[in-house]
Amino acid sequence: MKRSAQSGLTLVIALVMLVVLTLLVVSAIRFGNINLKIAGNVQSETEASAAAQVAVESTLKQMVASTNISAITAQPALSVSTGGQTYTVAVLKPTCVFSKNVPTTDLDPSKAADQVCFEGSDSDKLITASGALSAAPSACKDQQWDVTASVADANSGASVTMLQGAAVRVDGKVQCPL
């Protein structure tokens, strides 16, 4: 019986290949875990954005139904469920950005929303670009309001702030607290 001198070399090569294969498997598992964490973070951020949007839309509904938008208060701890998790949303008090009188020439008497504006008129007259007084404005104003909602979830680390503008037609007596 003759023994081959290379029989030990095969074992060393096989062990080196096993080490390389083990390193490849370990790195694949690490990359998989990183991708899983990224996907989880994206899902948490998307859910937090959805919760903030629900809170903004709730505030916009209040604004449309209200006769005095400036009386709507901030909601520092509004609880919103997105189906997957419940988030605490902080909604700031709506802020008025812009207000302008609506001239009667811009109104359509066939629209129910504009008919209210014909019922009376504001005593302040509009001033044209040339500085002359125009016709008396209607009993309505167009105002631009901003609503801000923020979510800072301690469990997932998601942090989202959403700003939504809303154009609202209000009674001419409603002042815009700038």
User: What percent of the chain shows pLDDT beyond 90?
Assistant: 25
For residue 120 the two structure tokens come to 């009376």
Contact 65, 164 (CB under 8 A): no
**Residue 128: inside a domain:** yes
Q: Which of 76, 49, 75 is nearest to 62 (CA)?
A: 75
Of 82 and 114, the one with more pLDDT: 82
End-to-end CA gap in the chain: 102
User: In angstroms, rounded to a whole number, what is the distance separating the alpha carbons of residues 54 and 61?
Assistant: 11
pLDDT of residue 178: 59
Which has the higher per-residue pLDDT, 135 or 96?
Answer: 96
> Is the residue at 74 inside a domain?
yes
Unique residue bearing structure tokens 């008919």: 115
pLDDT band at 58 (very low <50, low <70, confident <90, very high): very high
Which three-class secondary structure state does DSSP give residue 173? Answer: coil
Cα 92 off chain centre by? 13
Over residues 123-129, mean pLDDT: 55
* Residue 133, domain member (yes or no): yes
**95 DSSP β-pair partners:** 146
Which residues share a beta bridge with 143?
Answer: 99, 168
Nearest to 52 by CA among 10, 103, 89: 89
- Sign (positive/negative) of CA torsion 171, 172, 173, 178? positive
What mean pLDDT is predicted for residues 148-175?
Answer: 86
For the stretch 73-108, pLDDT in tens is 899 888 888 877 888 999 999 999 988 887 777 777
pLDDT of residue 21: 94
The proportion of the chain whose per-residue pLDDT surpasses 70, expressed as a percent, equals 84
Answer whether residue 136 is part of any domain: yes
Q: Determine, yes or no, domain membership for 2.
A: no
Range of the domain at 78: 8-171
Region 58-70: mean pLDDT is: 86
Average pLDDT, rounded, for the chain: 82
- Any domain includes 62: yes
Q: What is the pLDDT of residue 175?
A: 77
- Whether 1 is in a domain gets the answer no
Q: Is 130 part of any domain?
A: yes
Mean pLDDT of 49-74: 88
Q: Is the pLDDT of residue 113 over 80?
A: no
Count of structural domains, the chain? 1
